Amino acid sequence: MKHAVLQRFRPRVLWACSLLAFLVAGAAQADAGQRLDFPACVARALALNPEMEMTQAQIEQATAAVRQAEAGWMPRLNLSMTGTYTNDALNAFGLKLSQRNATFGDLGLGQYDPSNPNILNVAPGTLNDPGATGNVNSRIELLVPVYNGGMVESYVQQARAQVRAAQDGDAAARQALVKQVAMAYEGIHAARAFVKVGEQARMASQEYVRIAEKMLAQGVSLKSDYLMAQVRLDDVQVQLAQARNQEAVALDQLHILLGLPLDSPLQLGSPVSLPAAEGTLDAWQTEALAQNPQLNAARHQLAGVSAGVNAARAAGLPQVNLMARQEWNDPSLEFAASSYTVAGVLSWNAFDGGATAASVDRAQAARIEMNAKLRQAEDGVRLQVRDAARKAQEIEERLVARERARAQAEEAVRLTKKRYENGLATMLELLTAQAQQDKAHADLISARYEQVVQRAEWMRLLGRLTPEHIDPHSSPAPIKAAVSAS
């Protein structure tokens, strides 16, 4: 019972903790306005995002369904009061009888004449044609379920399974939201890094235009070099505008996830830092199959469907109930004529044309379907974990390669620029080297962003993408240093 109570209030406790964490983080950062680091963004999203409100409502619905199903074990107490006024012969005589007011006169004995040889054919007028009779029936009725073939127990099991499924669904939604926040948050940093690279590329292109124009005036270069430099500058300015648009889109996405007005200022902390994938593939698959909240939700749904099979079967079993009734009948509300009834009822739907059997078959088919969906989901998680393991290694290698390419591209630009100023290289060679440097910077930024997304997906698959697994103190990949070095 204690465990059940804890399970019942666990979603509310988690929600309250998330809200408290957000409020604490907000209070600590109040002096800086809307300056939020990644953990604070996660806490705010989990506390205020409408998606979390919907999943909490689903848990509340499932919890209420458990209470509703458990009520099937409890007695039913019904109170009723019925006023009747009728001149129907049968009902009028019955009401007088219930009121303890029936007389021999009501039976028509006043018309009985023993000297009449046809007396048995005489219709008593007072019995067949009574006047209107009024009655107030006040009733207290207690219904006690004794045995229902396990139907109530099956419904309770089904409802409890739905609660656990809703709780795991809430956990899955929370982790999916954390991933969305990570993508939007890091997307802003990546877009700003692209903007910074674009601004540096624009400054370099302006410098090349100035150099080409100066050398053209001195007669040591062709006009085509100047035009090529000018075209390159125009291209860089377009790319810079695109990067700023990407930053604006990512900011809007984060505002929506955090429940903030789109025009409210927002300052971000350091880039997202998530732990790297460690361990073996077999260990990851085992953990994912055991901890992935979507799989656990599907397992609880399967348990609920299985309980539905038992509930369908119970409809074809005998049911035993007890009834106790106390009632009063009188012409007015006087509670005068008192009576009671105690009964035991055994009912069995012995034949219903195959409706119960069809209901059982349908429930079993639903269980088979749900079981197949669960196996399919497990296979999908295994595949996703294997893919995440390959991508984890790939992205780490790519980051090393992109960092090396960035350093080489910067050195190539430096050397080519000197050669061009000394008349040993063409403007095309210089612009090509500059384009390679810009691309190297962009590739490094993209690789850093993909690393965050890949790590977030890996943690989500293993059920780890929760606030307690996010380490705000570890240092992020050196993307800022790489950008500033340009």
Q: What is the pLDDT of residue 43?
A: 92
Structure-token match 């090509």, residue found: 432
Q: What is the pLDDT of residue 58?
A: 93
- 469: tokens are 């697994």
| Least confident range of 28-42, 129-143, 294-308 | 28-42
Q: What is the pLDDT of residue 219?
A: 72
Q: What is the pLDDT of residue 343?
A: 96
Phi, psi dihedrals of residue 329, rounded to the nearest 5°:
-130, 125
- The rounded mean pLDDT for the chain is 85
In this prediction, residue 471 has a pLDDT band, given cuts at 50, 70 and 90, of low
In this prediction, residue 9 has a pLDDT band, given cuts at 50, 70 and 90, of very low
Q: How many helical (H) and strand (E) elements, i.e. helices and strands, does the chain have?
A: 12, 6
Please give the single-letter amino acid code of residue 364: Q
At residue 63's C-alpha, the angle toward residues 10 and 150, to 5°, is 125
- 3-state SS, residue 196: helix
Q: Spell out where 266-332 has E strands.
A: 267-268, 319-330
| Rounded Cα gap, residues 31 and 24, in angstroms | 13
Select 73-150+320-347's CATH number: 2.40.30.170, 2.20.200.10, 3.30.1380.20, 3.30.390.30.
2.20.200.10
What residue spans define the domains of the chain?
A: 2-69+152-313+373-484, 73-150+320-347
Q: What is the pLDDT of residue 107?
A: 85
Q: Give the residue from 275, 246, 251 showing the smallest Cα distance to 263.
A: 251
CATH code assigned to 2-69+152-313+373-484: 1.20.1600.10
Q: Is pLDDT above 60 for 279?
A: yes
For residue 343, count CB atoms less than 10 angstroms from its CB and return exposed for 0-12, middle for 13-18, buried for 19 or more.
exposed
Neighbouring CB atoms inside 10 A of 307's CB total 24
Q: Mean pLDDT, to the nearest integer, of 146-163? A: 93
Residues 437-457: tens digit of each pLDDT = 888 888 899 999 999 999 999
Q: What is the pLDDT of residue 20?
A: 47
Q: What is the pLDDT of residue 486?
A: 28
Higher pLDDT, 321 or 16: 321
- 389: tokens are 């393991």
Q: Mean pLDDT, to the nearest integer, of 296-324? A: 94
Q: Mean pLDDT, to the nearest integer, of 244-253? A: 92
Q: Is pLDDT above 50 for 14?
A: no
- Bridge partners for 325 per DSSP: 141, 341
Radius of gyration of the chain (CA): 40
Distances (CA, A) of 425 to 169, 202, 413: 62, 21, 11
Higher pLDDT, 309 or 202: 309
Q: What is the pLDDT of residue 35?
A: 81
Residues 325-376: tens digit of each pLDDT = 999 999 888 888 899 999 999 999 888 899 999 999 999 999 999 999 999 9
Q: Is pLDDT above 80 for 93?
A: yes
Q: Mean pLDDT, to the nearest integer, of 60-87? A: 94
Q: Is pLDDT above 60 for 13?
A: no
Q: Is pLDDT above 70 for 262?
A: yes
